[in-house]
Amino acid sequence: MAVGHAVQSLARIIRGAKGSFISPKIQVKHYPSMGLGIEAIEPIDSGEVVFVASSEVWREYSAAAARSEARQQAPAFVDRVDSYCGNNQRMADAVLLATHIVMGDASDVYLNSLPPVLDVPMYWSERRLDELRHCEVRDTIINARQVYRTMHIDLFGTMSPIVSSIKFQWALSVLMSRATSGNAQPFTLIPYFEWFNHSHLPSACEHSYVERDDSFVIRTTTPHAAKDQLFINYGDHTPATYLRHYGMCFASIEHSRVLDPVSMHEHVSFLDLPDSDDSKPIKLQLLRALGWPLEKARPFTIHMTAPGTRNQLDWDWLRLYVATSDELRHRECHPTSVPWLDSNTHRVQALVKDMCERRLAKYPSTAEDDYDLLRHHKTTLEPWHEACVNVRLGEKLVLRGFLDQLLA
């Protein structure tokens, strides 16, 4: 499918910018369900540089430029943003760059090439979000909406703000889905660069920031034939992260290298232990001595950085919660190198097992349902729906994997 006039104009501008380069072997193409992408129009060898964005191309759309311009024109606003964001320098930069984008030149070719509507969860209907019912990411999305709305009011006020709430959230969503950043590179939007879609496969092109030249470079890692799409790797993120940023998952759950942690959303309080329990005073005393909380709304979280990995502090907190007087006496009479009694281990395992099973029972679909949907109906699923199924299936696999390890 042919691309629009703005895209073609932008490509011509970049080709004419000092220090920039777009290989004559590639072109921008519209791909169904993926939007714009980069296609090889003739064979490309491995190791070829296919794109270079010099600072002349991207500097105007960087956080550094936004901060510098705002410091000159509205220093009080910069101070307010920095004070509001505190130690979160990246958020402060994002706010300034988002404001910079919204207030940019109305005739700017690149800004005009940005989509006026983004199909990301920030704007999803309740019907769509319902596909993520009881998933961690749904709470994250809803909380982010409220955080951004509150941030806009606090920073811009409510009386005829210079940047509307709708435009502000749009610009933040643009940055979330299109900006590049890293410890050793600028936080910036890069025209044309963003049209390279993501792939986790080894054939993806490598991209880097070359500090010496102040440029972003994309180079092939394998040969490409004509008509091949060229990809880059956005990084090893979880399906939920891809969903939040892009409104889709770029890989099925089978190819996901990392999965999000899953928390048990159950209120557990030592204060709810019956007063008739003679171990309660001892437990409360130990909690105070250790500086541990009396209660938790999320008493346990499963992290899948390694199968079966536990948060030891959470585990020990729950051990204390379920301990009997005999188990506490055993703990007090032996050094920490001596394990708890088996009875305590069985009891805390039973508690966590029940939590995991209750969490699994909350989902409106089973893991088998989700597998079946992805296996037999993948071609008919819209990208947003497929992403939701992958995310919720990922959570169920984390829970089931932990249960399997727990019961082994």
Residue 374's domain is classified under what CATH number? 3.90.1420.10
Q: Which residues on neighbouring strands pair with residue 35, listed in sequence order?
A: 31
Determine, yes or no, domain membership for 404: yes
SS3 content of the chain, % helix, strand, coil (to 5): 50, 15, 35
Determine, yes or no, domain membership for 244: no
Determine, yes or no, domain membership for 238: no
Task: Give the pLDDT mean for 92-108.
Answer: 96
Residue 227 neighbours by CB distance under 10 Å? 10
Answer yes or no: do 365 and 383 share one domain.
Answer: yes
Answer yes or no: do 51 and 182 share one domain.
Answer: no
Determine, yes or no, domain membership for 241: no
Answer yes or no: do 219 and 367 share one domain.
Answer: no
Q: What are phi and psi of 35, to 5 degrees?
A: 80, -145
What pLDDT score was predicted for residue 37? 94
Q: How far is CA 83 from the centre of its chain?
A: 25
14 is in which domain, residue-wise?
5-58+190-232
Determine, yes or no, domain membership for 379: yes
What pLDDT score was predicted for residue 310? 62
Answer yes or no: do 215 and 136 share one domain.
Answer: no
| pLDDT band of 309, cuts 50, 70, 90 | low
Determine, yes or no, domain membership for 25: yes
Rg (CA), the chain: 26
Answer yes or no: do 215 and 290 share one domain.
Answer: no
- Could you identify the residue written with the tokens 């800004």? 111
Answer yes or no: do 181 and 276 share one domain.
Answer: no
Mean of the per-residue pLDDT values of the chain: 92
Determine, yes or no, domain membership for 407: yes
What pLDDT score was predicted for residue 233? 86
DSSP β-ladder status, 49-53 and 215-219: antiparallel
Determine, yes or no, domain membership for 240: no
What pLDDT score was predicted for residue 35? 83
Q: How far is CA 67 from the centre of its chain?
A: 25
Q: Pick the last residue of a domain from 232, 262, 291.
A: 232
Answer yes or no: do 271 and 395 share one domain.
Answer: yes
What pLDDT score was predicted for residue 308? 47
Q: What are phi and psi of 28, to 5 degrees?
A: -85, 135
Q: Pick the last residue of a domain from 177, 198, 232.
A: 232
Number of domains, the chain = 3
The structure's pTM equals: 0.88
Answer yes or no: do 331 and 397 share one domain.
Answer: yes
What pLDDT score was predicted for residue 136? 94
Answer yes or no: do 173 and 290 share one domain.
Answer: no
Q: Which two tokens stand for residue 242?
A: 């891809």
